[in-house]
Amino acid sequence: MLEIKNLSKNFGGFTALSDILLNVEPGERLGLIGPNGSGKTTLINCISGLIQDYQGEVYFNGENLNSLVAHKRARRGISRSFQIPKPFTSMTVRQNLLIPLEYAVRADDLQGISIEEQADKIIDDLDLNEKSNQLTSGLTQIEMRKLELARAMAVKPKVLISDEAMAGLSSSEVDDILKILITLNETTRITIIMIEHIMRAVMSFSERVICLDAGRIIANGTPDEVIKTPAVEKAYLGE
């Protein structure tokens, strides 16, 4: 579904990603781990089109995306949440979803369900019912994270990429987000790529885990296999 071929990205003389080769399957739950600065967000930026001046190729359902800007890639079905949530703070939770929905939903795939009803469905899926008509400026941290995921879902993605949606949350809040993401994956069969530093969360979520270190993939396998890879341990703990 998503094919990344020989992707490299330099910032000046610094190599952030080096020759990344990766296939992601439909409906897969993929974890992306790696120490700070290993290139996780940069990889997502290249896939989603926020960065376009990379070397290599990004294919989605057989189409080469290289020449497409971010909003066109979103239209194809690639959606990502940001590490730092960026909602429209002068709008309510619901209004924040109507904007991407207006953009993403074509008249022919409304299937008799209005944009407003679709917003309410996402609000329900993300467990934001009580905040639906509140301004986002008054949201708590976990509500902000849920809204960030809701906004990504409002693009009607085939692939949802979540960039550290759980950072800074309590253990029970982490469980909340985990449950929401697993339910979304099981009910809609969308592919979810989870970038996460919270090992417990990413290991229980993922069917497959990839570990980046200094811009290279150093492990690719089941959570158990990856966690037991000596290079992964070394990347996290140092020599």
Ligand X SMILES: Nc1ncnc2c1ncn2[C@@H]1O[C@H](COP(=O)(O)OP(=O)(O)OP(=O)(O)O)[C@@H](O)[C@H]1O
Query: Does residue 41 bind Mg ion (CB under 5 A)?
Result: yes
Evaluated on CA atoms 84, 90, 94, 96, the torsion sign reads negative
E strand map for the chain: 2-11, 14-24, 29-33, 55-60, 63-64, 78-80, 159-163, 191-195, 208-213, 216-221
Query: Does residue 49 bind ligand X (CB under 6 A)?
Result: no
Place of tokens 């600065």: 37
The answer to whether the CB of 132 falls within 8 A of the CB of 94 is yes
> Hey, which residues does 8 pair with through a beta bridge?
55
One residue of 29, 40, 94, 158 binding ligand X per CB under 6 A: 40
Query: Does residue 168 bind ligand X (CB under 6 A)?
Result: no
Query: Does residue 48 bind ligand X (CB under 6 A)?
Result: no
CB of 199 to ligand X, least distance (A): 13
Scanning 40-48, 69-77, 95-103, 152-160 for contacts with ligand X by CB under 6 A, the matching segment is 40-48
CB of 224 to Mg ion, least distance (A): 24
Query: Does residue 96 bind ligand X (CB under 6 A)?
Result: no
The answer to whether the CB of 47 falls within 8 A of the CB of 227 is no
Please give the residue ranges that form the binding site for ligand X (CB under 6 A). 11, 14, 16, 34, 36-42
Please give the residue ranges that form the binding site for Mg ion (CB under 5 A). 40-41
